[in-house]
Structure 1
Amino acid sequence: MPSLLGKEVGPTGYGLMRMTWNSQPPSEEVCFETLNTALKLGANFWNGGELYGTAERNSLHLLYNYFTKFPENADKVVLSIKGGSKPGILQPDGSEANLRRSVDECLRILDGKKTIDIFECARQDPKTTVEQTVTILGQLVKEGKIGGIGLSEVDADTIRRAHKVHPIAAVEVELSLWATDILHNDIAKTCAELDIPVVAYSPLGRGALTGTITKFSDIPEGDFRRSLPKYQAGILERNMMVVHEITELSKRKGATLSQVALAWTRTLGNKPGMPTIIPIPGGTTSDKVIQNMGGIHVLSDEEMEAIDMILEGNDVVGSRY
């Protein structure tokens, strides 16, 4: 099993962002059942954030309530928290005053029920250097407020510069069969060289690799995906060629499309020259977690080669944002 900051991480990660980003998140009862199922199945890397929800109600409030009810699970979980934005808006603010405010606010909400194992700025503030950001967060590590430092949505050069200032615990970036950018822009290579695990968010292509979306009209009104280039009418249908071929492979294997997509990311992380990869699929119900983690966890060399051929023959078009 891979490890983060000396703690073992199970066969897959589990993301909390889906629970609190939606306008109508599930009830706490459903959330707690889902979290307990995830933990039981070995998904003990949990990803939350100050920005997932509102200042009055976000994933940290959910975590506080969960660990209040299940205090015995606190030490079993590796908790990664995103912050560093201005209060209430998705605008990065890398000033020391705001970084300290963000960490202190997260700790205030958790109220000692759970420590912050990894803290990362959701985006790098263009007004500050990554060296300044990591220096400040490094001081917070020394003060015992956070366990380690993560990076989110940064390029290879930024990772190298940050790691020179303070060891980086993890780099969170988008990675899926629909978003293979890090395999071609030196991010994966750099993380492998520096022995930094990659936390892969949206490993199911924001739902495209689950079989629930086949055309633009399948995306609900007001859904964030309607604004993304890859999901526009005409473009989405073209990109579904990859999904159709992977679906046929999954049928031959006796697995679901999502299981094959997740197994691909995990197997990718086992290849020579690649970093450890921890996928964090979202999931709002126990059934979804069980499906994601069930069946297969790795693919054979022949299956990986077949998927490589599918990706080479079907370019996914449209930028991520």
Structure 2
Amino acid sequence: MPSILGMRVGPIAFGMMHLTFPRKPVEQCFLAMRAALDSGCNFWNAGTFYGTPEWNSITLLQEYFKKYPEDADKVVLSVKACYDPQSRRPYGSPELVKKDLDYILGQLKGIKSIEVFECARVDPDVPVETTLKFIDEEYVKKGLVGGIALSEVSATTIRRAAKVTKIVAVENELSLWTTNALENGVLEACSELGIILLAYSPIGKGMLSGEIKTLDDLDQDDVRRLFPRFYPENFAVNIQLVEQARGLADKKGCTPAQFAINWVRSLSSKPGMPEIIPLPGSTKASRVEENATVCDLTPDELAAVDAILAKFTTAGARYPAGIPTEV
């Protein structure tokens, strides 16, 4: 099992974004959270901007640990903040970072600590060194935060950050249809520096689950319709990768989602790779249990994936224009 800050975590993590954005019934959320722990997914990823100011994954955690205080020590909690989803702007000034961290700590009320803290993006107007030195000196060294992670960063930023403080994890997108990290030096930098890679969206925002066969399977107000890879002209291309991956999953005897998640996890076994923990998001206990299933891919199965990816190029950008990525 992987280890973060000396704490053992499961081979697959649990993302909380979909529980609060859009909002789900509290009891459904609690069932999913309990299923995560029961399935060995004790590394939880939350965010202040997952939801609304009144109801987000931090307020949900407050309610959960109030009801289940015995679970507080079982969870290794990672929290993202310092991002305004309305303006699509990250912020990294000491004053604003302090505001977010103090809010999170205040909501958790001492019931649960923050094991890992990460700014969701790098503020282009504030040197990353300034942001990280502040968090390290005012929160890590004072025992208020266990360690610092990075999110959506380039290999250059990872190396800059590692000169300032210990970086325990990097959270970047990685899946069968998002392989940037395999090509841009991010995984190489993490491997060199002994940093764990948290691979978010390992199911490609649900696309690789195989349950989305046409755009009609998405509601008209589904936010994914705003993402370029779900535009009609790109969807028609990308569904071809989904169909090929589903074929491999059928041969494996697992679900397409399990195959996609475990392909990401299996990358850790390749030479020169860091420890990689997939970070799928789930809203239902049954889906959490499905996503948490570990199935090792054989060398032949990994080679089959490599052959498919060598001939396939995902159509469309990862995010709509204006959302910063890989700074």
Task: Report the TM-score, using the length of structure 2 for normalisation.
Answer: 0.94
Query: 1:221 aligns to what?
Result: 220
TM alignment of 1:234-249, pairs within 5 A:
234-249=233-248
Kindly indicate whether residue 133 of structure 2 is the aligned counterpart of residue 142 of structure 1. Answer: no
Query: What's 1:314 paired with?
Result: 312
Secondary structure (helix, strand or coil) at the match of 1:117 reads strand
**1:61 and 2:51 correspond:** no
CA displacement at 1:89 relative to structure 2:
5.5
Structure-1 separation of matches of 2:92 and 2:234: 36
Partner of 2:19: 19
Residues 170 and 196 in structure 2, CA contact (< 8 A), matched pair in contact too: yes
Question: C-alpha separation between the residues in 1 aligned to 2:96 and 2:84?
Answer: 7
What is aligned with 2:273?
274
Partner residue, 2:97: 99
Alignment of 1:138-217 (within 5 A): 138-139=136-137, 140-217=139-216
The structure-2 alpha-carbon separation of the partners of 1:282 and 1:5, relative to structure 1 and needing over 3 Å to count, comes to same
Deviation at 1:88, TM superposition (A): 7.2
Paired letter, 1:274:
M
Query: In the alignment, is the contact (CA less than 8 A) between 1:44 and 1:78 conserved in 2?
Result: yes
1:21-100 equivalences in 2 (<5 Å)? 21-22=21-22, 25-85=23-83, 90-100=88-98
- Which of 96, 117, 128 aligns to 1:130? It is 128
Could you tell me which runs of 5 or more consecutive residues in structure 2 were left unpaired when the two chains were aligned.
320-327
SS at match of 2:83: coil
Q: What is the rounded CA distance, in whole Å, between the counterparts of 2:196 and 2:249 in structure 1?
A: 27
AA paired with 1:4? I
- Indicate if the aligned counterparts of 2:210 and 2:243 stay in contact, CA closer than 8 A: no
Q: Work out the CA distance in 2 between the residues paired with 1:57 and 1:213.
A: 28
State the alpha-carbon separation in 2 of the partners of residues 287 and 38 from structure 1.
10
SS at match of 2:114: coil
Q: State the alpha-carbon separation in 2 of the partners of residues 87 and 272 from structure 1.
A: 37
Structure 1 match to 2:295:
297
Deviations 1:94-150 (A, max 9, x none): 111111111000011111111011111111111101111111111121122211111
Equivalent residue letter for 2:89: Q
Matches of 1:40 and 1:160, distance apart in 2: 36
Offset, 1:223:
2.0
Deviations 1:23-51 (A, max 9, x none): xx221111111111110110011000111
Structure 1 unmatched ranges of 5 or more = none
Change (3 A) 1:108 1:244: same
Aligned residue pairs, count: 318
The alignment status of 1:9 with 2:9, answered yes or no, reads yes
Deviations 1:186-209 (A, max 9, x none): 001100110100111111000101
The alpha carbon displacement at 1:231 in A equals 1.1
Q: Look up the match of 2:325.
A: none
Describe the superposition over 1:63-94 as per-residue Cα deviations: whole angstroms up to 9, x where unpaired. Answer: 01111111111111110101113597542121
Distance in 2, Cα, partners of 1:216 & 1:26: 23
CA distance in 1, matches of 2:70, 2:18: 24
Deviation sequence 1:215-256 (CA, Å, 0-9, x none):
233222222211211111021111111111111111111111
